[in-house]
Amino acid sequence: MKKHLKRLPAPRSWTIARKTQFWTTKPSPGPHPIEASVPLGLILRDMLRVCDTAREARRILNGRKVHVDGRAVTDPKFPVGLMDVLSFQETKAHYRMLVNTRGRMALVPIEDGEATWKLCRIEDKTTVRGGKAQLNLHDGRNLLLPKDSYKTGTTLKVQLPAQKVLGHYELGPGVAALITGGKHVGEVAHVLEVFRTRNPRANTVTFKEGFSTDIDKVFVVGKEAPEVRTPEVSAL
């Protein structure tokens, strides 16, 4: 596996200048895939522009004043992905990573209270020793619960960094959902119906706004109105 990444073939979801330099930062293996995340050092230098060089970004991170999901991160290659909360301890500035209607990862400024939680989609679940339910979430974290209370595809509102479940939004008619890929990427739509099949074809979701998409591109963000503010095209 190559340790370097050229700017031209970098994921189109990254908001970076393609021809100013030859190389860019390749993210470390982590909780998000490369096309759905941005390295933390790249966020500081190219998106937020709080520094001019990768060396300055490393110096900032070594001060342990930059937190992701409530925990200090010092690795400039750490991948920050969908719904992650980025916090600066000195300036008290907070951002949530989302995707805009151009399919690019974008940072949305949030208030102090919003930085204490994040939304996580249940990707899979298993039963472990003792009859407990292990929920595998979209950001790589696992939750152990006393009983199996949630379905796959449900979104949990998780407290940071304690990982306490504050609420949940089950995928079903009427809920608000963020589209994370395809033609309608970055849009928030309201579910009309969920079609689940038992054949190799993908499960699909239709929306009141008049379109449908694969279920794996649907991220529930609220019961009727979204819990998170979606980015403008001009967002960071």
Which pLDDT score, from 0 to 100, does residue 85 have? 98
All domains in the chain, ordered by first residue: 5-110 (3.10.290.10), 116-169 (2.40.50.740), 176-222 (2.30.30)
- Amino acid present at 236: L
Contacts of residue 14, defined as CB under 8 A and 6 or more positions apart, other chains included, come to 24, 38, 42, 104, 105
Which pLDDT score, from 0 to 100, does residue 235 have? 47
Return averaged pLDDT per consecutive 10 residues of the chain, 236 residues in all: 74 77 82 92 93 94 97 96 97 96 94 97 93 94 92 96 96 97 95 89 93 96 94 61
Which pLDDT score, from 0 to 100, does residue 159 have? 97
- Amino acid present at 174: G
The pTM of this model reads: 0.90
Which pLDDT score, from 0 to 100, does residue 67 have? 98
What's phi and psi for 87, nearest 5 deg?
Answer: -130, 140
Helix (H) or strand (E) holding 41: helix 40-42
Which pLDDT score, from 0 to 100, does residue 198 have? 81
Task: Write the burial class of residue 190 (CB in 10 Å: 0-12 exposed, 13-18 middle, 19+ buried).
Answer: middle
Strands 218-222 and 176-179: antiparallel
Which pLDDT score, from 0 to 100, does residue 112 have? 96
Which pLDDT score, from 0 to 100, does residue 2 have? 67
